[in-house]
Structure 1
């Protein structure tokens, strides 16, 4: 699949992604990309976030590849669990990075309305990247989310929440996971041909 044949939709997590976050860098460098903007980044409401994601997908000029981080991953799962078949067909795949476990002990209050985590298989190919020292989700919980969502899951060692605070600005290494997703999409297209 050629990179230009779909639209990258960046789905940030809680607090959004600042200018020096890898999602912002990727948005500036990947062709055909835009960001889902939320009305309230600090007090997220699941229904509002899912509705904004739905609008972003519906408004994209081409089929979509989602690039989600943290609470954005959970938003993608909630959207997929309730979206209409026509909307689901607009999404070709998703890269899910450092998904937030909104059911964990001590989960910040503003994120709790995203629980329970949807545990249905995503109806499109996905690659999940977690970390063994992410305060937002343990390695076991990241693997469990990957299994439930039928994602190709990788748990990296010592990379934290894969955000600015853990030293990930451009996160060039992450592009390998986007390439892995694109390979899955190519395989799927060959099987359907």
Structure 2
């Protein structure tokens, strides 16, 4: 499988380890990871600026963002602030930063931004994600103007839930390419 777009990988809280699908994709296809200064106690404004800094290095019309968990919220805030018309975004397992189950230590990610995103998006959700109820995930996707893809009982769609290489996810990403 080949991609003609510039794919920017944006991990969530804690980063994505080497066996996480984001890291596998990055290595397999030479995607570009947006690095953050602090993966464990993130500040939303800092994460937004790091996305913008990487986006400015490329032709925006060719960029697809691939966010996981907290990165989905970050992408929504980035879009609200910069309104850049990119090719699209794949938003996987958006976490609900307003939920009681959400880990403490993040700054500026509440409330979850519910602005319509100015580019095509696909939001992939699970029915049993500890970090977001299915109903809230549906609300986020609807508010963002996103196509919703429900992959069933898949946890947080991460390594702990059994998602390493995740070929199905690559197929979904290819729809935006």
TM-score w.r.t. the length of structure 2 is: 0.93
Shift of 1:60: 2.5
List, as ranges, runs of 4+ consecutive aligned residues in structure 1 with deviation greater than 4 Å: none
Aligned residue number for residue 144 of structure 2: 149
Q: Distance in 1 between matches of 2:75 and 2:14?
A: 16
Aligned length: 175
Partner residue in 2 for 1:102:
97
Aligned counterparts of 1:106 and 1:3: Cα–Cα separation in 2? 36
1:49 and 2:47 are equivalent in the alignment? yes
Q: With structure 1 as the length reference, what TM-score do the two structures score?
A: 0.86
Pairing 1:3–2:14 present: no
Q: Distance in 2 between matches of 1:128 and 1:120?
A: 14
| Runs of at least 5 residues in structure 2 that lack an aligned partner in the other structure | none
Residue equivalent to 2:156: 161
Alpha-carbon distance in structure 1 between the residues aligned to 2:116 and 2:59? 26
Which blocks of at least 5 consecutive residues in structure 1 are unaligned?
A: 183-193
Question: SS at the partner of 2:32?
Answer: strand
Computing the radius of gyration from Cα coordinates, the structure with the larger value is 1
Report deviation, 1:59: 1.4
1:40 aligns with 2:38: yes
Judging by fraction of residues, say which structure has more helix.
1
The alpha carbon displacement at 1:147 in A equals 0.1
